[in-house]
Each structure stands twice: as structure tokens, then as C-alpha cells.
Amino acid sequence: MPDAQPDRTAMRLLIIEDDRDAADYLVKAFREVGHVADHAADGEGGLALALDGGYDVLIVDRMLPKRDGLSVIGALRDKGIETPALILSALGQVDDRVKGLRAGGDDYLPKPYSFSELLARIEVLSRRHGGRNEDTLYRVGDLELDRLSHQVKRGAEEISLQPREFRLLEYLMKHAGQVVTRTMLLENVWDYHFDPQTNVIDVHISRLRSKIDKGFSQPLLHTVRGAGYMIRDGAR
Amino acid sequence: MTALGKLFRTTTFKLTLVYLTVFALFAAFLLGYFAFNTRRLITEQINETVDAEITGLSEQYRQGGIRRLVIVIDGRARRPGSSLYLVTTFQGEALAGNVGSLTPGVLENPGWTETIYRRLDEAEGAEHHALVRVFQLPGGFRLLVGRDLDERERLYNIVVSAGRWSVAIVVVLGLAGGLFVTRRVLRRVDAMTETSRTIMAGDLSGRLPVAGSGDEIDRLAENLNVMLERIEALMHGLKEVSDNIAHDLKTPLTRLRNRCEQALRTSKNDVEYRAALENTIEESDGLIRTFNALLMIARAESGQARNDMQEFDAAEIARGVGELYEPLADEKGISLKVEAETPAPVKGNRELISQALANLVDNAIKYAGPKEQAVNGAAPEIVVRALGEGDRILLSVSDGGPGIPEADRSRAVERFVRLEQSRSLPGSGLGLSLASAVARLHGGELTLADNQPGLKTIIALPRGGPVQIAG
């Protein structure tokens, strides 16, 4: 199996987007990967649906008729509804992003985006998947990462990592079994929100891979073609 | 609008009218006051003189009786420019003096009176005004002493007519001056209006005329010219951006379209279609990347990003970017070193400066060339530095690659210029442009220097952040 497939449980998603074509495309694409997506075409309708609840993640376009995306999220947060929300926007600048996150959004994706990027971010956002924040020890297969002592072990063998490599592995293991894109790594591990032109992340990953996978029969760090990377126990 | 109507409607002319009215009223008041007081002063003088004479004459009468009085008065009355004298008996018969006739009834009322009189030596019908005092002497005689009032009236009339003239002159000169100034101002404003019309019509190279006198209109014109310069630069930038969007986006779009067409024409199976589609996505990702870079440059150019500037350490940026690119350089057989030990605090947009430096490092890795090409067999080296120099912070990237010929260096920094030699290499060609735009946004500059061999790119930033342009 050259490509690793993430393990998925079905999610209920709400897409608030006024562009019918884009919304239809998303609904269909999410259905294909096993998720259920509802669609609202304006801010008011979206807010009403979101208030009824039961969604795992909200995908909110920033500019909407009747009520803009940020205000929808603000209204939900005011009512104590903490459903994770991803903001889609044609405004891709850093300050727009900051504004979006400040308004209560949990992630921000500028248009145009690739579906694999959106999917990866949605799955990381979903509460059903991303509940490993409090763990101090991450474990994937025989790979162990101790967040307190900063020790990494594969089997009995201790692996020495540079600080950045440690943070990279930590992020990957926190979202073990989920696809993590290059942009997500750049944003979360390096805190950069720009496009570094050449794909520098790939080189960092291959360095990390040579440290954790080299010499072991079972690779843990997988490349997901056209999307990003995923760490998971292939033997399971 | 007639030329004159336009003239009268100007602020300058209205101001002139206001000032003119104020000054004319002031002149009238001043001269009126002068005239009134002059008259009063002369009257007082007359009173004093007449009183003194009456006192003197009644003394003469007391000492020498009517005979002596008559002799004295005869003497005084003959002097030129003398006062008026008249001594009469109780019945009104004149005994001495120089008065020929008086308004009837004057002599009957002792005290001060204004009267019309004629001197003895004058022809019948002559009339003058005089202020006289009639004094009852003991023994039934009456003494009249007075002064001619013509002199007072003449002086008064002179002052009044001087007043009239000066008010008239104030009005005439004021109007003329006002018109002159107004026309001058109007002509300059008209010239400015004319220029601004041509500018509005699209010729942004036009500038408002500056007379060189340094007055308020000059200052206004100078400021407007600075504004025009800024607008022209922005418009120029906008035009360049759109030209380059046309070039940078149309070329890959054409390529994209060609590939799709070719795939439709020649692909025979799913595998080939799939490859073509994957190719299309890759190509469109490149397009998005170029588009983002163009937007980022436009944003840096417009100065919007000045709003979210904060203090941070440029040395930390250098270390971060160096660390991000080190594996990539290493993979290409290039050693990447960071020399940024001492903190280099700057104020700015961290994200943009990081990206600018990342672009420079990315370029350096791209052009430094593989190991085999290095001059003396040693691994090519890229050094990223952050250091303070005077009031500037320098972020520099040095490589040992082919460099850029000196003649081309300034062009390479220019917005959106791609050098011929780099056209064949991958990349949007906007890396240096963005770095340069970011440097200028922060009040600094991007320079290219000879690293002997190789290229050294330097982003120089002012220590305290960009200096705000004073209003």
C-alpha cells in the first residue's frame, strides 16, 4: 500500500456558503469520503441550523448574504455553542486571518483551497479526533514521544531530535491517523503563514523520517499523495 | 460666469469689502472726532481771549472812566486782525469800536451770543459770524468784545472736507487694491484649477504651479504636488501590477489551457487523463502562488500592512528562516550558516519580513548551484546574517553563486523585473520584488551587492520602524 489512508469516522458538517456551485461540490466531496454535510446559503439560515446543533465542524464563508460569517460565529459563541468553525475566505492576508480567529473561528483557509487541505483541517478540528491535547505521552506503534521530558523512543532505541524536529513529530503524533498538510505544518510548527515557494517542509519530513523510520521494517511516517503526511501504525 | 462676476464672488474680494468698510468707518470716525475737538478747542480759546480782554477793559474803565475806555478801544480796534469791540451808551449809541452792524437785539442781552456782524470799514452787506460777549459796565455803558468765527468755520470745513476726501481715497484705493490682489490670487487659483483639470483628465504628470514666494498658496500647491506624486506613483504601480498580472498570469493560463486541449486531443486512457489532470492542478497551484505573491506585493506597496507592526527581534527571524531552509540547502550540497547572535530589535510586520528573508534564502539556494560547480571544490556556502549597523538593522543573505552583473543589479530590484538569465529557472520571479516592497514598507531598502564571488542581498531596516510621513 503506497498511500496511507486515514481512519475515519463519519462527521456531520455544516457548510455555510452562498456560492451554490462551491457548496454542492463540497457536499458531494465530503459525502464521497464518508461525511455528512448540510448546506445553508446565507448567514441567518446557517446560524439557525448551527444553533440546532449536532454538528462536528462548521465551514463558514466569510462573506455571506444577510449575516456575514464572522458575525455568525460570534453569535454562536455568545450562546455558548463551541462547535469548531473553519472560516473560508477570499481574503487571505495575515490580518484578515487574525480577525477571523479573534472572532471565534478555529481555523482559517484562504480561497482558493484544495479539497484535501480543507478535509485535513476539518478532521483535525473535529472534537472526535483532536482530543489528545492533555496527553503527556504520545504513542504510535512502537514510537513514543514524551512531551514533558522531550524524549523520543522507537522500541527500546532512544532517538535524538533537534528541537524543531521534536515539535514536528509532536504535531504529527498529536494528529496521528489524520492527514496533516504542508501548510498546516508550516503554520503550527513554524508559525509562518506564507508560502515558502520551494517545498522546504518535504525536506524536514524526510530528515525526520530518516531518524524515526530508518532501519525499522514498519514505516510510521507516511506521505499522503496530493495532500500531505500522516503518522500511523501501519501494522494495526 | 462673467470674469467680473467671478472676481466679485471670490473670498479675497469679499474680505476686501469687509476691510474697506471697517477702515472707511474708522477714518470717518477719526476725522469727525478731530473736527469736533478742533472746533471746541477754538471756541474755548475765543472764550478765554474775550474774557481776558473784558477783564482788562473793565479795569481801564474803572480807572479812567468812559473816556479812557474809548481811547483804549480805539487803539486796539485799529490793529490788524483785532477782536471786535463796541462800547455803547445805555440807549445803544456807539461810542467807540470797529463794529458797523450787528444782529438786532444782541446788545440788550449780556452774556455770550453768536451773531452776524459787519466791520465799520467794510462795505454795506458784508456778513461774518462772530462769537461775542456783552458786558454791562457800571454807569449804564455796555461793552461788547468778540472774535470772528470765520477762522473756526474755515478750519472746521477744511477738516470735514479732508475727511470726505480721505474716506473717498480709502474706498477707491481699497477697491483698486482689493481688485488687484483678488485678480492675482484668482489668476493663481485659476492656473491651479486649470492644471488640476488636465490632471483629472488623465495626465498625472502635471504639477500645480509654484510661484516661489513661499506664501500660503505656494505651500498648498507644494503639498498638493507631493500628494500628486504619491498618486502618480500609486497609479504607476497599479498599472505595472496589472501589466504584470497580465504577463505573469496569462502565460501560465495559456500553458494550462494548451495542456488541457492536448490531453483532450491525444489522451487514450484513464492513466493519461489522470496525468493531465494532475498536471493541471499543479499548474493552477503555481498560478495561485503567483497571484498570492502579486497581492502580497500590492499590499506591501499600498502601505496597508503598516497597521499591524510590532517590535520583534530580527536575529530571531534570521535564525528561524535559516533553520527552515537549512535541510533544503543541505540536500543540495550547500552549507547554510546563520550569524545572528546579538539581538537586533526592529519594528515591523514579522510575517512579511520573514517572507522577504525566506525569498532571499530561497533565491540563494536556487542560484548558488550544486557542489560540482563550486570554484575550489569546497561546498558552496550561504550565510544569513542579522546585525545592527548604526541606526539600521541589516538582514543579509550571501551566496557564492554566479551573482548578478553590476549593470543588472538595480534592475533586478525594480518591481517585477525578471532578468533574462533567470527566466529559464523555476519561480514566479517575484521574490526580489516582494523583498524590496517589504523593505520599502518598513522605510528601508533592498540592495544587491557583490559577495566576491556571488551575490549578497541586504534588507536594511530602520531600527525604530518606519518614520511616519509628517502631515
B354 with A192: Cβ contact below 8 A: yes
Q: What are phi and psi of A126, to 5 degrees?
A: -55, 135
Q: What is the pLDDT of residues B98-150, one digit of tens each?
A: 888 888 878 888 888 888 888 888 877 788 888 889 888 888 888 888 888 88
How confident is residue B424, by pLDDT bands cut at 50, 70 and 90? Answer: very low
Residue B370: band (very low, low, confident or very high) from pLDDT cuts 50, 70, 90: low
Distance CA A214, CA A208 (A): 10
B212-220: long-range contacts, CB 8 A cutoff, minimum separation 24:
B217/B185, B217/B188, B217/B189, B217/B192
Res A92: pLDDT:
63
Q: Is residue A2 part of a domain?
A: no
Give a yes or no: residue A75 inside a domain: yes
Q: Where are the alpha helices (DSSP H) in B201-269?
A: 216-266
The answer to whether position A1 is within a domain reads no
Report ipTM for this prediction: 0.81
- What residues in A contact B351, CB-CB < 8 Å? 94, 192-194
A61 and A152 fall within a common domain: no
B373 has pLDDT over 70: no
Report pLDDT for B48.
Answer: 92
Q: Does B425 touch chain A (CB under 8 A)?
A: no
φ/ψ of B455, rounded to 5, equals -125, 140
Percent of chain B at pLDDT exceeding 90 = 1
Whether residue B108 lies within 8 A of chain A, CB to CB, comes out as no
* Interface contact flag, B431 A207, Cβ < 8 Å: no
Q: Both A65 and A118 in a single domain?
A: yes
Considering the domain architecture, whether residues A25 and A70 belong to the same structural domain is answered as: yes
From A125, A150, A171, the end of a domain falls on A125
Q: Is the dihedral of CA B441, B444, B450, B456 positive or negative?
A: negative
Q: Which residues of A touch B427 (CB under 8 A)?
A: 197
pTM: 0.64
Residue A80's Cβ-count burial label (10 Å; 0-12, 13-18, 19+) is exposed
Q: For position A229, what pLDDT does the model report?
A: 92
> Chain-wide mean pLDDT for chain B?
81
Asked whether the beta carbons of A139 and A120 are under 8 A apart, the reply is no
Considering only CB atoms, A200 lies closest to which of B295, B324, B428, namely B324
Within this chain, do residues A73 and A111 fall inside the same structural domain, yes or no?
Answer: yes
Residues A208, A185 within the same domain: yes
- Is B332 touching A (CB cutoff 8 A)? no
A79 and A107 in a single domain? The answer is yes
- For residues A142 and A199, membership in a common domain is answered with yes
Whether A207 maps to a domain, the answer reads: yes
What pLDDT digit, counting tens, does each position of B149-175 carry? 887 888 888 888 888 888 888 888 888
- Residue A132 has a pLDDT of 55
Tell me if A103 is assigned to some domain. Answer: yes
Question: End of a domain among A125, A160, A176?
Answer: A125
**The pLDDT of residue A169:** 92
Q: Please check the confidence at residue B294 and state whether its pLDDT lies above 70.
A: yes
Q: Are residues A113 and A146 in the same domain?
A: no
Q: Which of A82, A105, A125 delimits the end of a domain? A: A125
Which range marks the domain in which residue A57 is found?
12-125
Candidates B283, B285, B334, B355, partner chain A, best to mutate (most A CBs within 10 A): B355
CATH label of the domain that carries residue A43: 3.40.50.2300
- Cβ contacts of A197 on chain B, cutoff 8 Å: 289, 358-359, 362, 427-428, 431
Average pLDDT in the B199-213 region? 80
Does B288 lie at the interface with A, CB-CB under 8 angstroms?
yes
User: Considering its fold, how many domains does chain A have in total?
Assistant: 2
Does residue A236 belong to any structural domain of this protein? no
Angle between helices B11-78 and B150-200 (to 10 degrees): 170
Are residues A91 and A177 part of one domain? Answer: no
Residue type, B41: L
Each residue of A72-125: pLDDT tens digit?
888 888 888 888 889 988 876 666 777 888 888 888 888 888 888 898 888 888
Q: What are phi and psi of B8, to 5 degrees?
A: -70, -25
> Would you say the C-alpha torsion B403, B405, B410, B416 has a positive or negative sign?
negative
Question: What's the whole-number mean pLDDT along residues A52-60?
Answer: 86
Inspect the interface and report whether the beta carbons of B324 and A194 lie closer than 8 Å: no
C-beta atoms of A197 and B431 within 8 A: yes
Whether residue A40 is found in the same domain as residue A90:
yes
Residues A120 and A154 in one domain: no
> Residue A143 is part of a domain; what is its CATH number?
1.10.10.10
Give me the pLDDT at residue A141, please.
85
Closest to B88 measured CA to CA, from B136, B127, B131: B136
For residue A5, is it within any domain?
A: no
Q: Is residue A16 included in any domain, yes or no?
A: yes
Q: Is the confidence at residue B397, as pLDDT, over 50?
A: yes
Residue A118 belongs to what H/E stretch? helix A115-125
